[in-house]
């Protein structure tokens, strides 16, 4: 079963965490796929 934006959704967000900056103690690739609602910005815009 898969998900595509054409199935009634507006899209999705994929987040990958890895390494010390990704708050991991055991090195591995860790991902999250988030969808189902508008999630907003992860990082605020900086004024120019």
Reported as a pLDDT band with limits 50, 70 and 90, residue 10 is confident
Number of domains in the chain: 1
Reported as a pLDDT band with limits 50, 70 and 90, residue 47 is low
Q: Is there a domain that residue 29 lies in?
A: yes
* Distance from chain centroid for Cα 26: 21
- What are 17-28's pLDDT values in tens digits? 888 888 888 888
Host domain of residue 31: 1-38
Q: Is there a domain that residue 34 lies in?
A: yes
Q: Is there a domain that residue 33 lies in?
A: yes
Q: Is there a domain that residue 25 lies in?
A: yes
Reported as a pLDDT band with limits 50, 70 and 90, residue 5 is low
Q: Is there a domain that residue 13 lies in?
A: yes
Cα dist from 34 to 4, 8, 40, whole Å: 13, 15, 12
How far is it, in rounded angstroms, from Cα 32 to Cα 17? 9
How far is it, in rounded angstroms, from Cα 11 to Cα 23? 26
pLDDT mean over 4-29: 78
Residue 3 confidence (pLDDT) above 70 = no
Q: Is there a domain that residue 20 lies in?
A: yes
How far is it, in rounded angstroms, from Cα 18 to Cα 3? 24
Q: Is there a domain that residue 47 lies in?
A: no
Q: Is there a domain that residue 1 lies in?
A: yes
């Amino acid at each position: 079963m898969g998900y595509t934006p054409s199935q009634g959704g507006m899209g999705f967000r994929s987040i990958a965490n890895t390494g010390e900056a990704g708050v991991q103690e055991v090195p591995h690739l860790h991902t999250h796929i988030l969808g189902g609602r508008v999630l907003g910005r992860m990082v605020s815009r900086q004024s120019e």
